[in-house]
Amino acid sequence: MYHAPMTKQENNTGPSLKFMLIALAVISPFAFQVFLPSMPGLVDDFGASPAAVQLTASVYVGAFAFAQLGYGPLSDRFGRRRVILTGLAVYVTAPLICATAESIEVLVAGRALQAIGGCAGLMFARVIARDLYERNRAAGVIGFVTMVTALVGSATPILGGWVDVLIDWRASFWITSALGLVVFVITLLWLPETRPKGTADNVVATFRRGFQLLRSPVFVGYAGHGACTLSAWYAMLTGLPFIMVDVLDQPTTAYGVYFPLLSLGYMVGNLVTSRVAQSWGAHRLIVVGVGLALSACLAMVVWNLAATPVPLALFLPLGLIAFGHGMSQPGAMSGAIGVDPALIGSAAGFMGFGQWLIAGVTAQVVGMIQNGTIWPTMATVIGFTVLSWLSYLLAKWGEARKLDSGSHAGL
């Protein structure tokens, strides 16, 4: 079945496209998180060490990051549709390997394949939005898709826990495969080719041109902003459980009580972006979002220095930081992947790889630097928030230099 490429003037801007992008975006977070409640039980099921079981999560994240390096340039060469369908086929097959695994090694390998397949969905949901819409509109669409994805991600571990209790851990993989099959069929039947016409090149040239993006201050600035905001989020997720128990002397259940302040802040920030992106513009959203986040950082420091730290003194300002990052992230993503219309896929691949690699390292480091106070985690969040602002300034400088060189070229 041939699907001709769509142009920005021809594209479908209705709810059906948003539904398709959401379906593509949610499959990887679903696959990652539905299995997490079952992990402790694998120690006994396989007679494996906790460290070996932990690989089912860490290998997933690593494979997810590296897969984007290949998907991006390949989609610029062969088109989005073909590469997405290939990734979805892997996504449907990989859970079957996991569900029938008789050793922890096979399960870890299956999880890596799951990540490689699922990566195509989340990555290309953003790519397609940028293919079809101008920057501000794309930021709004990305914000809406991210909000729904975060909402699904919040509910998925609950589903996974009940599946593990009522059936067993293998059932979560059968469910994941079935979900992937539904998305595969939807994509096969209704997703058109969205790569801009005239952008195809040979594979080697496409990869070479993709690496040239790393020389663009606009791309590095916007991609760096996204990496910093994501890393700040993972610093919160990694550090706060330790702080709640070891520093604030709270029960282990307390983190789950306060965590909705963070996830709600992030989701509402993305919702605001989806509603006002066209009227405000991406630049204004980034400035306001980072401004709110920096203000919340200052309030958090003053609050916790002036009084003994308590959960609300952390979670309220951190929720506002997450809100600010939720506002600024979609605009930065749209700016990064739209630097060169011929390399939207490559830009998304390099951006995604950098974001997840830095966030993964951050999560590991934050866990290592805990010292019995709130400050290692808070300093990491504040540091990345400041760096996100500096990254945006780099992108703005690059855009101004590009405009200046263009105006001189016309003289």
Q: Please report the pLDDT score of residue 91 as a whole number.
A: 96
CA angle 153, 159, 161 (to 5 degrees): 110
Token pair of 112, please?
């890596």
CATH 1.25.40.10 fits 15-200, yes or no: no
pLDDT for 231: 93
pLDDT at 368: 81
Shared fold status for 15-200 and 212-409: yes
**CA–CA gap between residue 342 and residue 364 (Å, rounded):** 35
Question: How far apart (Å, rounded) are the C-alpha atoms in residues 120 and 140?
Answer: 21
Can you tell me the distance from the alpha carbon of 29 to that of 31, in angstroms, rounded to the nearest whole number? 6
Q: Could you please report the per-residue DSSP string of 368-392?
A: H---SSSHHHHHHHHHHHHHHHHHH
> Which pLDDT score is estimated for 2?
39
Question: Per the structure block, which two tokens stand in for 160?
Answer: 């996974």
Compute the residue count for the chain.
411
Tokens describing residue 205: 């040239």
Helix 39-46 with 104-132: angle, nearest 10 deg: 150
Q: How far apart are CA 86 and CA 93, in angstroms?
A: 11
Tell which residue, 355, 123, 324, has the closest CA to residue 234: 355
Nearest residue to 332 via CA among 222, 204, 214, 191: 222
Q: What is the CATH number of domain 212-409?
A: 1.20.1250.20
What pTM did the predictor assign? 0.82
- Name residues of the chain where pLDDT drops below 50: 1-11, 13-14, 407-411
- The DSSP call for residue 307 is S
Query: Domain boundaries in the chain?
Result: 15-200, 212-409
d(CA 57, CA 69): 20
The pLDDT tens digits of the residues spanning 313-322 come to: 999 999 999 9
Packed helices 282-306 and 375-409: angle between N→C axes, nearest 10 degrees:
160
Instruction: State percent of the chain over pLDDT 70.
Output: 92
Inter-residue contact 119 to 64 (CB < 8 Å)? yes
Render pLDDT for 212-257 as a digit per residue (tens, 0 to 9). Answer: 888 999 999 999 999 999 999 989 987 888 888 889 998 877 887 8
